Structure 1
Amino acid sequence: MSTPLGDFVRAKRDSIQPESFGLPDRGRRRSPGLRRSDLATRAGISVEYLTRIEQGRDRNPSPAVVNALADALSLDAGERHHLRYLAKITGGACSAHRRPSPPNREIRPTVRETLRLLEPGAAFVTNRLGDVLAYTSGFELVMRESGLLDTESPNLTRYVFTDPRARTFFPDWDQVADEQAFDLWLGPSAETSEWFKAELAPVAGQEFTRRLNHHLPPPQVPLRLDHPAGQELRWHRERLELPSIDAQQLVVLLPADGTTAEAVERLRHQHRVLRAVG
C-alpha cells in the first residue's frame, strides 16, 4: 500500500531528467525520470531501502534519511517542508472514519481589522481545507456571481470539484483543482485533512481522487477568472500565513494587469448604480 511520503518521492524522481544532475542518458526506459539506483546513490541509501519507502513498506525513515532524500532530489525550501510533513503523517496513525474536531473558524479581531484596511481590495481569510472564513467587499464583488458565496459556509475546494459553474468561472480549472487538492496536505491537522478528503471524495469523483496523490506543488501562476460580466480578470495572489494556532491564511488578490484593474472599477461603478436604484 502506498503512502503520501512514498508517492511524493516517486513523483519527484519521475519528474527529474538525469541530465539535469549530470548523469548520462541511458536510452529509452519504461518510466520517465531518474532511476531508483541513481537516487539511492545520491542519497547514500540502498536501492532496496528506497524501494521500500516508495512502495510504502517503510513508514518511518529517520530524519537523516528524509534530509538525505531532500538533498538528493535537490528540493527547494517549500518542497523540503512538504517532504518532512509527509514523513510525519506517514509515520503516524490517522483515521479518516472518525470525524475530528472541526478547525477553528474564528477570525481574530486584528485579522478582521487587517481585512478592513484592505478595502476596497479583494482579499479573504481561508484555511487549507478551502473554507472561506471572512472576506472584503472587493472579494464579494468579484465572486458574487460565481456561486462560491451562495452557501452559508462557502468552501472553495468543494465549489471547485462539485459546482459545474466552477469550470466556467476558472478558465484554468485544472490548475485551480491541482492547487486545492495539494493544499489539503497542509490542512489544519492531518486528521482533519484526512476526514475532509474522505467526505468529499464520494461527491467530487475521479477528478478529485486522482489528484490526491500528486504531491508535487503546482506552479504559481496568475489566477484567471472568466467573470459573468463578460470580462476575463487576471490576478496575482499574495498569501500571508497567520500564526499556526489559527491554521489560517490571508489571501490578497492583486490585479495582474491594467485591463483587470479597469474592469474591477467598472464592476464597482455598476454595483454602486444598482444599489442606488435599489
Structure 2
Amino acid sequence: MGTPLGNFIRAKRDSIQPESLGLPERGRRRSPGLRRLDLATWAGISVEYLTRIEQGRDRNPSPSVINALAGALRLDLPEHNHLRYLAKITSDECSVDIRPVPPPRDVRPSVLRTLRLLEPGVAIVTNRLGDILAHTTGYQSVATGTGLLDAARPNLNRYLFTDSRARTFFADWDDVADEQTFDLWQAPSLENLEWLTAELTPIAGPDFTSRLNRHRVPRRGVLRLNHPAGHRLRLHRETLELPAESQQLVVFLPADDQTTRAIDQLKASRPIEGS
C-alpha cells in the first residue's frame, strides 16, 4: 500500500514525457511517463530506494533526497512545498493511530471585527477543511439561492460534492473541486483531515476520492460563478492566512464592471433580516 508521498511522486513521474527531459524514446511501454530508472538517475538515488519510497516501504527520506526528487521532477515552488509537506506527514513520527475529531470552529473576535470592516464587500472566514465559519452580508447575497449556506454548518467540500446545484453555480466546477480537495492536505492536523474524509467519502464518491489521491497542485485563476438570478460573476480572490488558527480570510473582488453591477443588484434584492 502506498503513502501520500509515494502516490504524489508516482503521479508526477507518470505525467512527465521522457523526451521533455531530453531522454531518448524507448518504444512502447506498459505505463506512461518517466521510468523509475530515469528518475532515480536524475535524482542520484538507487532504483531500489525510489521503489521503496513510492510503495510506502521507506517513510523517512532525508530532506536532501526530497530536494533531489523535486529537482528531477522539475517541480515548481507550490509542488515542491507540497512534496515537503507530504514527506513530513508520511514520516514514521506521524504514523500514529488517528482518531477522527471535528476541527475547532471558533473565530477570533479581532478577525470578526476585520470581517465587519469589509462590509458590504464579499468575504468569508474559512478553514482548510472548507468550513465557512463567518461571512459578510455581501457574501450572503452572492450565495443566496445556491444552497451553499443552507446547512447549519456550511462546508464548501460537502456542497461541491453532494449538492447538484454546485456544478451549475461554479462555472469551472472541476477546477474548484481540485482546489478544495488539494487544500485538505493542508488541514491543521491529520485527525481533522480524517474527520472530514471519513464523513465525506461515503457520500461524495469517486469524484472526491480520486482527487484526494491525485495530489494535483491547482492553478488558481479567476472564480467564475453562474448565479441562479441569471448573473455571470467573475471574481478575484485575495487570501489572508491566519496561521495560529489554521484559518483564512478570503476576500472576493469583482474582476470586471459587469460583476460589480451584478453584485450591487444582488445586494439590493436580498431580503432585509427579520422581514
TM-score (norm 2): 0.92
Aligned residues: 273
Deviations 1:225-260 (A, max 9, x none): 1101011111111222112x2110111111122221
Matched, 1:26 2:26: yes
| Structure 1 range deviating more: 113-122 or 154-163 | 113-122
Deviations 1:37-71 (A, max 9, x none): 12111111011111121122222212221121122
Deviations 1:111-149 (A, max 9, x none): 112212222111101111000011111111101211111
- C-alpha contact 1:95 1:191 (8 A) present in aligned 2: no
Counterpart of 2:269 in structure 1 is 270
Superposed, 1:114-263 pairs within 5 Å as 114-243=114-243, 245-263=244-262
Distance 1:25 1:256, change over 3 A: farther
Give percent identity, aligned residues only. 66
**Following TM superposition, where does structure 1 have runs of at least 4 consecutive aligned residues deviating by more than 6 angstroms?**
none
Superposed, 1:9-48 pairs within 5 Å as 9-48=9-48
Superposed, 1:42-61 pairs within 5 Å as 42-61=42-61
- Structure 1 gaps of 5+ residues are none
Return the alpha-carbon distance in structure 2 between the equivalents of residues 228 and 5 of structure 1.
41
Q: Say which SS state the counterpart of residue 30 (structure 1) adopts.
A: coil
Deviations 1:90-113 (A, max 9, x none): 1222445x233x322111122112
Which amino acid in the other structure matches residue 263 of structure 2? V
| Structure 1 range deviating more: 128-137 or 60-69 | 60-69
- Structure 2 gaps of 5+ residues are none
Deviations 1:140-197 (A, max 9, x none): 1101211111112111111111112111211222112111111111111122102221
Q: Say which SS state the counterpart of residue 211 (structure 2) adopts.
A: coil
Q: Say which SS state the counterpart of residue 254 (structure 1) adopts.
A: strand
> What's the CA shift for 1:11?
1.0
